[in-house]
Structure 1
Amino acid sequence: MVANAAAEKAPAPASGGTRRVLLFPLPFQGHLNPMLQLADVLHARGFHITVFHAAFNAPDPVAGYRFVPVGAGVPAADLVPTGSDGDFAGALLRINERLQGAFQDCLREEVLLEEEEEEGARPACLVLDSNLRGMQVVAGRLGVPTLVLRTGGAACLAAYMAFPALCDKGLLPPKDHSQLNMPLDDLPPLRLQDMIFSTTTPHETMTTCLERIVESAKCSSGVILNTFTDLEDVDIQKIIDGVGVPVYAIGPLYKISSGAQSSLLSPDKTCLDWLDKQEAESVLFVSLGSLASMGQEELVETAWGLANSRLPFLWVIRPDAVQGSGKVGLPDGFEEETRGRGMVVNWAPQQDVLGHQAVGGFWTHNGWNSTLESICEGVPMICRPHFADQMINARYVEQVWKVGFELEGKLERGNIERGIIKLFRGEEGGEMRRRANDLKDKATLCIKKGGSSQTMVDLLINRIMSSPSSI
């Protein structure tokens, strides 16, 4: 059992009454949804909700919430990196730098408005994405307490916390390729290569970015994790020991909210009708997330690997999924070869797809939302990580939870076909499916009354309500 200094026993859950909670998500798909799901959980407990958001990549408005755009007119061309080799760490630093001044004005106005409307009351707190350290500094200046939401897994944050020590040992950045497969004794089962979050971002930029993420946790009044104890107990404990503030593992958020989410892409829901016609656990769902991309050759090899497997598949190909191309061109003959057993869409309602009885496997980039949703729906994975925390997540899928395996090396149709057959027809794939179903059962229990995540939600609510002016 994870020991949390926040409390040994959850008190009776409080109600938010008329208190207002402010939230500020990072303006990317995989970060918007968990924050809005958290907003839904807080709103259901009686809190009023204000969502600050970057003017670019604005979320869909939610009825009953106040939405406040930040930084209208701020140049955003280099704030939305594209492709798997984009400078995401640099973009995060630029977002903080460019939005900080505008946010200070918006937050000051919100605090004054709240005091006027509620006769001297101030917002209970600001919950911000842990990548927004600059906004946390602004909140501190204005006396608004902060909680941070980590939209990645506990293992990821534990690895970020260990990053400086690896640099001090001279392991990062690696001096040559021969080091990459080196196991990290303090971070099992990770290897050095799993800590190379980007091959294009300068080491100094990455170091600064990760330092600020860890700072945001340590300088907060509490860290909220979108995970659950039975999945990541060891790494949750590392975080508790390292950050010195209360830690609340309340996930999976998508299971405890009413489904509130914001899609920057329009999902094609006709794929659900198609899935209704397929046999149970027969379909491979292929989706590499909202940011990752592939080359044209990789697209062709993937197409023929899927076709040659002779198994049903649902393949998500975003319009911008192919590097350096304005459009996606599937190879000649592919449509004819797969007609009736394959469907290609621009975007899919992922949670509905993974929860569908027809889906028996997920080929994923291993972003945390995708990884967690696959685990919670009992769907084993073929892993193809690209950047950021995806390598860490994929490693845990294969080595810790043993509910999938990484498709390594160059994407080649024969290797893809063998991987698909292994997952769906092999004995090893069957064992992965059984373990995935065990984790699904644990995820279901943790959000029920008395479960670890439900208990942590109650603790979080009481933390927010612990003082009339601050947490």
Structure 2
Amino acid sequence: MLVTSMEKSQSHVVIFPFPLQGHIKPLLCLAELLCHAGLHVTFVNTRHNHNRLANLRALSAHFPTLHFESILDGLPDDHPRTLGSELLIALKTSIKPHFKELLQSSLKANSVALPPPTCIITDGLVTFAFDVAEELGLPVLSYNVPYARYMWTCLCLPNLIEQGQLPFPGDDMNVEITGVPGMEGLLRRVDLPGFCRVKESSHPGLQFAIHEAQTQKRASALILDTIYELDASCLSHMANMFPKIYTLGPLHSLLHSQIGDVSRSLASHGGLWKGDPNCMTWLDSQPTKSVLYVSFGTLVTLTRTQIIEFWYGLVNSGHPFLWVVQSDITSGIGEDPIPMELEIGTKERGYIVNWVSQEEVLAHKSMGGFLTHSGWNSTLESIVAGIPMICWPNLGDHYIISRTVCEKWKIGLRLKENCDRKDIETMIRMLMEFKRGEIQSSMDSISKVARDSVTNGGSSNHNLQMLIQDIGNMHARPQ
């Protein structure tokens, strides 16, 4: 059934991201896409994150049907709010009742400007929203930030336990995992997330991961920030578990395809830190495809030894580098003085910055490679920009992403976990010099698939139109 513009204008989607940077930005992209199509969207953040969001005025001006609400998370103002037990507890104890109260108020409201909620799109990690939605009789769509292959692996964990592949019998971490359909010949024990490396299947961490993954099956639909053509082998199996799956990736590229150059002025939307504009001037001074961009995201922490080893590897490689370090680099290495050769090498060909607009940086003509933690947002942004990667995975879905990037798509190189300065230098030279043409050729092919997916007739563009249509039908369906 076709949905009219009137029915779209009466549709109201409430979106609630997990309260971390890497979850807020893609869901805000999705919110903007839905508003651009004529739907009302209420984007709910914790008060702490709402107060830090960049470009709120510009977003509200460009998307008049985008509304922002904030709720308390119950944590002290000075709490770091990193991914951990305190934040997860806050979701259940403090954030859940505030979110439910907000929805109940919205359902009771009788406003022409903002109709009652039609459905909830919740971050897959915010599983309490499933309970709230079901209590209030609202359809819930689950958006999952982690990579689709990771989510599918988590859904297969009960089967791996039943088959005796978990917990690991033996210590060889290179043994192939065979119980995840669609990933034959790719997945090894070492590629599984940390909660799989336990001795007992009853371990709370493993059981928590299983429960969270199984909860997703209660969703009316699943939304994934991936490209269908790249993950079809897994998605075909996942389709048996969910009523509908919408692959909309790369979301930031899909947004640009819909609103054009306006998206560039909003490139920092969803950011909780202010980028350094001076790094772009520095990039302008560098030769084409000469710079290695280095960023390990917002959750990975480095020890003093790791910082020094990466720093030496970068300087010794001889290539220009732009390195994102969120706090003062000297505080990251303690009170010991920085070796003079590092200071000199950085002044000659490096630039260290607290934060950047990553999309803008990766799209710069001087960019030649990306040393990354293999977070999915960063990986997608690198693919769209056509920038080959050095992968240094650390947690969660990073290991599966790294394995896919390096072994399946051949668009990156894997840096071992316990690497030293020589390993880092060698890998940089491999990416930027010796294997540059080979890896860039593979990247050009994968990048084209991603970019084509968001154009007219592309899979992600088509799925976006289907999602908009289906949300409109939720409102239009007779009661």
TM-score above 0.5, yes or no: yes
Higher mean Cα deviation, 320-329 or 29-38? 320-329
Distance 1:78 1:335, change over 3 A: closer
8 Å contact 1:195–1:392 — kept in the other structure? yes
- Out of 169, 187, 197, the residue aligned to residue 163 of structure 2 is 169
- Out of 339, 355, 358, the residue aligned to residue 363 of structure 2 is 355
Does residue 394 of the first structure (1) align with residue 384 of the second (2)? Answer: no
The one-letter amino acid of 1:57's match is N
- Out of 147, 167, 172, the residue aligned to residue 179 of structure 1 is 172
Q: Which has the higher helix share?
A: 2
Show the 5 A alignment for 1:338-417.
338-417=346-425
The one-letter amino acid of 2:441's match is R
Distance 1:431 1:411, change over 3 A: same
Please state how far the C-alpha of 1:69 moved relative to its aligned partner.
1.8
> Using the alignment, how far apart are the partners of 1:377 and 1:119 within structure 2?
39
8 Å contact 1:293–1:322 — kept in the other structure? no
Distance 1:121 1:447, change over 3 A: same
What is the match of residue 300 of structure 1? 308
Higher mean Cα deviation, 120-129 or 446-455? 120-129
Show the 5 A alignment for 1:147-296.
147-174=141-168, 176=170, 178-187=171-180, 188=183, 189-198=186-195, 204-241=203-240, 243-257=241-255, 258=263, 259=266, 261-296=269-304
8 Å contact 2:75–2:90 — kept in the other structure? no
Please state how far the C-alpha of 1:134 moved relative to its aligned partner.
0.6
> Using the alignment, how far apart are the partners of 2:103 and 2:334 within structure 1?
39
8 Å contact 1:131–1:212 — kept in the other structure? no
Higher mean Cα deviation, 392-401 or 182-191? 182-191
Distance 1:345 1:77, change over 3 A: closer
The one-letter amino acid of 2:14's match is L
Higher mean Cα deviation, 37-46 or 338-347? 338-347
Show the 5 A alignment for 1:104-119.
104-113=100-109, 116-118=110-112
What is the match of residue 260 of structure 2? none
Unaligned runs of 5+ in 2: 256-262
Aligned residues: 451
What is the match of residue 6 of structure 1? none
Q: Specify the SS of the correspondent of 2:68.
A: strand
Deviations 1:336-389 (A, max 9, x none): 123231111011111111111111110000110001111111111100011011
Q: Specify the SS of the correspondent of 1:333.
A: helix
> Using the alignment, how far apart are the partners of 2:144 and 2:329 within structure 1?
26
8 Å contact 2:291–2:369 — kept in the other structure? yes
Q: Specify the SS of the correspondent of 1:144.
A: coil
> Using the alignment, how far apart are the partners of 2:285 and 2:353 within structure 1?
17
> Using the alignment, how far apart are the partners of 1:422 and 1:158 within structure 2?
32
> Using the alignment, how far apart are the partners of 2:249 and 2:45 within structure 1?
23
8 Å contact 2:196–2:206 — kept in the other structure? no
8 Å contact 2:150–2:400 — kept in the other structure? yes
Distance 1:465 1:193, change over 3 A: same
Higher mean Cα deviation, 349-358 or 162-171? 162-171
8 Å contact 2:372–2:392 — kept in the other structure? yes
> Using the alignment, how far apart are the partners of 2:114 and 2:43 within structure 1?
21
> Using the alignment, how far apart are the partners of 1:279 and 1:99 within structure 2?
49
Deviations 1:40-66 (A, max 9, x none): 000000011111222333362341432
What is the match of residue 3 of structure 1? none
Please state how far the C-alpha of 1:272 moved relative to its aligned partner.
1.1
TM-score of the superposed pair, with normalisation by structure 1 = 0.88
Please state how far the C-alpha of 1:163 moved relative to its aligned partner.
1.5
> Using the alignment, how far apart are the partners of 1:288 and 1:253 within structure 2?
21
What is the match of residue 451 of structure 1? 458
> Using the alignment, how far apart are the partners of 2:252 and 2:330 within structure 1?
29
The one-letter amino acid of 2:31's match is A
Deviations 1:10-48 (A, max 9, x none): x87764223211100111011000000000000000011
TM-score of the superposed pair, with normalisation by structure 2 = 0.87
Higher mean Cα deviation, 165-174 or 116-125? 116-125
Percent of residue pairs identical: 30
Show the 5 A alignment for 1:25-36.
25-36=17-28
Q: Specify the SS of the correspondent of 1:68.
A: strand
Distance 1:200 1:169, change over 3 A: closer
Please state how far the C-alpha of 1:168 moved relative to its aligned partner.
2.9
> Using the alignment, how far apart are the partners of 2:413 and 2:156 within structure 1?
25
Please state how far the C-alpha of 1:194 moved relative to its aligned partner.
1.6
> Using the alignment, how far apart are the partners of 2:252 and 2:456 within structure 1?
17
Higher relative contact order (CA 8 A, sep 6+): 1
Please state how far the C-alpha of 1:234 moved relative to its aligned partner.
1.2
Unaligned runs of 5+ in 1: 1-10
Q: Specify the SS of the correspondent of 1:128.
A: strand
> Using the alignment, how far apart are the partners of 2:36 and 2:453 within structure 1?
19
Please state how far the C-alpha of 1:167 moved relative to its aligned partner.
2.5
Show the 5 A alignment for 1:430-449.
430-449=437-456
The one-letter amino acid of 1:151's match is V
Please state how far the C-alpha of 1:267 moved relative to its aligned partner.
1.1
Higher mean Cα deviation, 224-233 or 27-36? 224-233
Please state how far the C-alpha of 1:197 moved relative to its aligned partner.
3.0
> Using the alignment, how far apart are the partners of 2:162 and 2:336 within structure 1?
44
